[in-house]
Amino acid sequence: MADEKEKLFQKLAKRVRVPRRLIPKKFLVKMELLLVKAYITFSATEWIGIFIAFGIPVFIIVSILVNILVGLGAFVMIMVIMYAYPVMQANKRMAQVEDFLPDALHHMSVSIKTGLVLDAVIQEISDSDYGALSDEFSKIVLEMRRGRPLKEALLAFSKRTGSKQIERAIRLLVEGIEVGGPISDVLEEVAEDIRAVRVIQRERRSLTMQQISFVAIASLMAGPFVMGVAASLPTIMKAAVGNSAQAAQYPLKQLAEIVQALSFYVVAQAVAAALMIGVVMYGDMRKGLKFAPPMALIAYLIFYVIKTFMPGMLGTF
């Protein structure tokens, strides 16, 4: 049943795929690589086509129900999710590989000391329970069986993960192979080095929690609340003046346009805060992309609730 659904989804994806000539070549190549890292089986043209096919109806519906600016914002959010989801999945797999790598390298070191050759040790890791790392080592084994040299297969693995730690570890391993030194000692030293880096990263996250909390509260609570109060002012003013002669003196139409701008500001502030959290926590802005969609949604919901209910709350007094 699951296979049938997957085949049906693959057929639909082929129907909505975007022609390659309509997509910038650099972005297409980047998207293809990102989908490979995320273990997503769709091609870049199919993946982009799925989200465009979903985004256009959402844009039309939201534009009719609300207005065209909010519809455009919904479409842009869908396009952000199109890019952010593979990034999140790729980062998740990369984190799994980094978590298992020190233990796997120690395993390899012990196995080599017992007399196994490196090729056999790599096969042993691919058959072990090291999660995403075992999957990557299975790819290395497959490439070696197809005739690719071990060094090239290892370097391709390090580039495929996109992790600086893994690239450094594999580079040291390849240098050890080329020099002909004791591989088991090299593997043990690399494993200890990765463990030390992981400890430093955990300490960094714990030390920066106060700054992260401040950024999150400002972008998810304080900012949307203040902007929501400001956005409710035109409704309060309109209710106050009613149809009196003073109504023409108030620029209510211009204020309504400002309210639309405030909604985009709230979303943009939340996305910027998510990227900042990525820099503070991981030292990489791209890792903050996984926080952007939920933070943008929460910020907009708070803004919308305050904007909608604030006039009624004031009317009770």
Residue 253 has pLDDT above 70, yes or no: no
Comparing 143 with 165, which gets the higher pLDDT?
143
Tell me, what's the pLDDT at 106?
Answer: 85
Indicate the range of 7-11, 140-144, 289-293 predicted with least confidence: 7-11
| Reported confidence tier of residue 2, pLDDT bands at 50, 70, 90 | very low
Tell me, what's the pLDDT at 249?
Answer: 56
The structural domains of the chain, with segments of one domain joined by +, span 98-199, 208-317
Angle at which helix 68-113 crosses helix 183-207, to 10 degrees, equals 140
Residue 250 has pLDDT above 80, yes or no: no
Angle at which helix 292-315 crosses helix 252-282, to 10 degrees, equals 140
| Residue given tokens 């192979």 in the structure block | 177
Residue 317 has pLDDT above 50, yes or no: no
Report which of 266, 274, 272, 275 is spatially closest to residue 306, judged by C-alpha positions: 266
* Cβ neighbours, 10 Å, residue 223: 19
Tell me, what's the pLDDT at 20?
Answer: 74
300 contact partners, CB below 8 Å, separation of at least 6: 224, 263, 266, 267, 270
35 contact partners, CB below 8 Å, separation of at least 6: 42, 43, 44, 47, 86
Alpha-carbon gap, residue 314 to 87, rounded angstroms:
44
Comparing 12 with 306, which gets the higher pLDDT?
306
The string of pLDDT tens digits covering residues 174-209 is 887 777 767 788 888 888 888 887 787 777 777 777
Mean pLDDT of 282-311: 81
Residue type, 220: L
The string of pLDDT tens digits covering residues 103-124 is 888 888 888 888 878 788 888 8
Question: What percentage of the chain carries pLDDT values higher than 90?
Answer: 0
